[in-house]
Amino acid sequence: MATTSIYRTPSAGDLNKWTMSFWVKRASTGGHHHLASAVTGGDNTVMKISNDDVLYFEEYQSSAVGYLKTNRLFRDLGAWYHIVFVWDTNNVTSGDRMILYVNGVRETSFSTETYPGSGQDSLWNSAMQNTIGEKGSAGYFDGSMSHIHFCDGYAYAASDFGQTDSTSGIWKIKTSPSVSYGTNGFFLKMEDRTNLDLDSSPNAHTFTTGGTLTATYDNPSNNFCTMNPLNRMGGSSPTWANGNTTYTQGGTSQYFPAAGTMGLSAGLWYFEGLYTSGNAAFFGIAGDASIATNMAGTVNNYLGWSALQWGLYTETGVYYTNSTNSVTYGVAVAADDIVGVYIDLEANKLYFAKNGTVMNSGTGISITAAASTSAGYYVPSTSFWASSTTFKLNFGNGYFGTTAVTSAVADEGGIGAFEYDPSAGTFDGSSKDFRAICTKNIKAYGG
């Protein structure tokens, strides 16, 4: 949603009591990421993650009549956050007139803490444009959103929209919460891939989308792997896009490794990638201290520099591991070819495919058991040499950048959408069911 918003102009609703509940996954740090806003002149209601990565809830009418700014930072780009904003100015307790919850826990530590007076009206829910995802054509939210609830006239707790999983202890979504929406309330599931701004509340309000919403299988119930802008090294600062599945090297020609957000210690896994320009691209995995060192701070180390990294070099089809130790393996890959990466942590093998055909007649590369790596896991990884090189990864969300895959093949469990079948072909003489890298699959098959 980096240049996209959803909005409508309601009739005035309850200006003293309402609740907003969001599930969001950030794609970048820095900059103002607005979850929702209502703006008139210099006055506004703002709900956002600010440019210093703190959560911010403000009602400004000539001055800050209500203002909460957290001390806690929200920098995790690999996880979904559940954030709830409550406005309840008829509450007799001053400190309960503005409330923030994150992942089921009420925020109580603020660098700024100003509560509104009794009966203070908000601009949100008044007869002006109420916007999801930006403020005044600026400060767009960069990332993914799901299950946005607005409850007009009700002050709900986070536990009305989420709950703690009894097995894992993780805060999880209630997909059909028992809440009321009042006159202006709405429920944007963002699940209908043909109508992403559909209001699923009984009100069935009509929204306008500015820009283009992109559907994703990544959601609060099943978090998918992406690339991690906080875990990379070298070169000029890249440009990240499409929920951190696309990145472009800056103007300096240097090796630029980048790592994914999810570590794998068991199971069979698959992802796809292509690069659309430049040269000297590498696809593979990393599983040692390089994840935190020479992938995050040391300039000019390609994927395969370490003994516990393996990178397919697309220019020739060889793979690299342990620095300059190049090994004959597959075939050269050109820009716009799709590379399939198969990670078998049962037999400790790694396979690559070009446009759906497994290389090296299906004979895999032997790798060290993930449990024996210094990190205890492997992460999907890439790197390249060249300025202005663009990488596009598909971990099962069904897109290379903004272009949908044509085949949309799911894994054997029915999860994800890939260009090529993750289980097609033979792997050292056997058929194997490789899976999309996501939390549901990791829970079921990851050890």
Q: Among 148, 178, 210, where does a domain finish?
A: 210
Residue 125 has pLDDT above 80, yes or no: yes
**Is residue 86 in a domain?**
yes
Residue 163 sits in the same domain as residue 236: no
Shared-domain flag, residues 55 and 184: yes
Supply the mean pLDDT for the chain.
91
In angstroms, what CA-CA distances link 172 with 141, 169, 207, 264?
22, 9, 27, 22
Domain at 197, CATH number: 2.60.120.200
Assigned domain for 120 exists: yes
CATH of the domain at 322: 2.60.120.920
Residue range 243-270: average pLDDT? 84
Residue 287 lies in a domain: yes
Residue 51 lies in a domain: yes
- Do 186 and 290 lie in a common domain? no
- 151/232 same-domain check: no
The helix/strand/coil state of 208 is: strand
Residues 273 and 356 in one domain: yes
Tokens at residue 356, please? Answer: 């759906």
pLDDT in tens, 346-391: 999 999 999 999 999 999 999 999 988 878 899 999 887 766 678 8
Q: What is the pTM of this model?
A: 0.91
Both 255 and 126 in one domain: the answer is no
Last residue of a domain, one of 160, 176, 210: 210
Whether 286 and 380 share a structural domain: yes
Is 219 exposed, middle or buried, given 0-12, 13-18 or 19+ CB atoms closer than 10 A?
Answer: buried
Is 97 in the same domain as 240?
no
Q: Are 372 and 438 members of one domain? A: yes
Q: Are residues 373 and 238 in the same domain?
A: yes
**CA–CA distance, 144 with 191 (Å, rounded to integer):** 12
> For the ranges 29-33, 113-117, 256-260, which has the lowest average pLDDT?
256-260
Can you tell me the distance from the alpha carbon of 99 to that of 203, in angstroms, rounded to the nearest whole number?
A: 25
If one counts the domains in the chain, the total is 2
**Residue 84 is part of which domain span?**
5-210
Q: For 226-255, what is the mean pLDDT?
A: 74
Q: Is residue 403 part of a domain?
A: yes
pLDDT at res. 253? 64
- Pick from 182, 210, 238: which residue ends a domain? 210
User: Looking at the domain assignment, is residue 155 inside a domain?
Assistant: yes
- Together in a domain, 255 and 190: no
112 within a domain of the structure (yes/no): yes
pLDDT tens readout for residues 133-157: 999 888 999 999 999 999 999 999 9
Domain check: are 272 and 383 in the same one?
yes
Angle at 152 between CA 146 and CA 155, to 5 degrees: 85
Is residue 216 one of the residues assigned to a domain? no
237: confidence class by pLDDT, cuts 50, 70, 90: low
Per-residue burial over 425-436, b if 16 or more Cβ lie within 10 Å, else e, is: bebeeeebebbb
